[in-house]
Amino acid sequence: MKLKKATPLQKAKIVLSTAVAGLLFAAPLCGQTPTVPATTGTLHGSVTDPTGLPVTKGDIKFTTNKTAASSEEKNLKFDYDFPLDASGNYVATGVKPGDYYVIVYQDGKHLDYQDVVIKAGDDKTVNFDMTREEYLKELTPESRKAFEEARKKNAEALSVNKVVNNLNATLGKVRADLAAAAPTKDDVSKDVADMLAATQAKPDEGLLWFVYGDTLQSQAEHLVKADRAAGTVPLSDDAVTKSYSEAVDAYKKAADLNAASKKPDMTIQSSAYNQMGNVLAKAGKLTDSQAAFENAVKLAPANAGMYFGNEAAVLFNANQPEAALAAAEKAIAADPTRPDPYFIKGQALITKATLDPKTNLLVAPPGCTAAYQTYLQLTTDPNGANAQTAKDVLTGLGEKIDTSYKAGKKKS
């Protein structure tokens, strides 16, 4: 997803061309090639209207009739006629020497003109810039005011587009950095600074705040890794808690801006709350985390299986098996094809296993073994650590592992 630009503006591009004319000569005298004199000239340039935009439709016409500059009669005869291209440029080649009025014509009316003398061999650049003061002062006050207002809007649009282009480049780079840093939890402080600057450049753009939240969360994970390596409790580190707190604020800002936009997108808002839930859980704020996941579900019920599954995972990782079990049950009810909630359910239930005094074997509570079996049937990683855990538990319970079920589309 990228930021949208303001109405795009065309950019003038000068196209250079030369005409070569001459005659074929016999073998050169004295071993030298004589210079062939040119008999015509070339004129090229660009045309800009009073608002500063290129004139992309119309013609450049040549005439030696000095009354043509002030006449708009359609039956006037012209010596040459060359079209303007899509960038507002023209190239006039093969023009015979002479004193011409060169006129910009559009829809049967002339917009501007210049007196140009063409000599044999000339290659001249002649631009028609209707933003010049001499041109504007000939306009009526009403027309001049309208053109000046349009020019101001064009300048603003160009400025906005420049900012948007820069921000989209920043977004691309930051996302690439975060993807590269994720496996090893590398330092992304530069990306945090870049996204902070981006939000300051365009504070009303929710997407920027969302990615800013991602950078803060990624940097917090980097700091947590360093703390653990140093034997420090991460949540006692002010830098960690600050990053988590600012990430939550950034995601909330993203959700609020999107909700207030002309075209709110519930998926973007729910994704922001999902990220908030993850960060709040890591910050040890489990109640707030659960509330964030619940908000995500309300905003995008179609993704309830994923959001409840994420809630179950963070609660289980936080050693809250009862709450994790409840979230896993909701995830399974919303989308029974996702494997991870079944594993979490099995892990939460196995903590309630009892010992049979007669056989001295563990007895799993109802639903526990079925949860493990279903996880093994749905998982896309049958050789992973969780799959091995599920197999070990089932084997310890004396259960035969059922691999007969063939799942449909599998989700993680």
Same domain (yes/no): 183, 92: no
State yes or no: pLDDT of 3 exceeds 60. Answer: no
> Residue 191 in 3-state DSSP?
helix
Same domain (yes/no): 208, 283: yes
Are 289 and 277 in contact, with CB atoms under 8 Å apart?
Answer: yes
CATH number for the domain spanning 353: value is: 1.25.40.10
| Residue 305 belongs to domain spanning | 300-412
Name the nearest CA neighbour of 90 among 37, 146, 12: 12
Report the relative pairing of strands 123-125 and 109-118 from DSSP bridges: unpaired
Same domain (yes/no): 359, 343: yes
Same domain (yes/no): 251, 318: no
Asked if the structure places residue 4 within a domain, the reply is no
Among the three residues 294, 309, 342, which one is the final residue of a domain in this structure?
A: 294
Same domain (yes/no): 63, 176: no
**Cα 206 to Cα 188, 258, 293, 323, 410, distances in angstroms:** 21, 6, 19, 32, 32
Euclidean distance between the first and the last CA atom of the chain, given in angstroms as a whole number: 23
Same domain (yes/no): 191, 107: no
Asked if the structure places residue 20 within a domain, the reply is no
10 Å CB burial of residue 205 (0-12, 13-18, 19+) is buried
pLDDT bin (cut points 50, 70, 90) of residue 30 is very low
Report the relative pairing of strands 80-83 and 354-355 from DSSP bridges: unpaired
Asked if the structure places residue 246 within a domain, the reply is yes
Same domain (yes/no): 259, 159: yes
Lowest model confidence (mean pLDDT) among 16-20, 141-145, 236-240, 395-399: 16-20
Other C-beta atoms within 10 Å of 173: how many? 13
Among the three residues 270, 294, 318, which one is the final residue of a domain in this structure?
A: 294
Asked if the structure places residue 125 within a domain, the reply is yes
State yes or no: pLDDT of 31 exceeds 50. Answer: no
- Predicted confidence (pLDDT) per residue in 286-328, tens digit: 999 999 999 999 999 999 999 999 999 999 999 999 999 999 9
Predicted TM-score (pTM) above 0.75: no
> Residue 100 in 3-state DSSP?
strand
Asked if the structure places residue 144 within a domain, the reply is no
Q: What's the pLDDT at 272?
A: 96
Same domain (yes/no): 182, 290: yes
CATH number for the domain spanning 87: value is: 2.60.40.1120
Which is more confident, 154 or 61? 61
Same domain (yes/no): 253, 385: no
Same domain (yes/no): 169, 235: yes
> Residue 165 in 3-state DSSP?
helix
Asked if the structure places residue 5 within a domain, the reply is no
Asked if the structure places residue 181 within a domain, the reply is yes
Asked if the structure places residue 305 within a domain, the reply is yes
Mean pLDDT of the chain: 85
Same domain (yes/no): 272, 163: yes
* Amino acid (one-letter) located at 293: F
How many domains in the chain?
3
Q: What's the pLDDT at 160?
A: 60
Same domain (yes/no): 181, 279: yes
- Predicted confidence (pLDDT) per residue in 237-264, tens digit: 999 999 999 999 999 999 999 999 999 9
Among the three residues 261, 294, 327, which one is the final residue of a domain in this structure?
A: 294
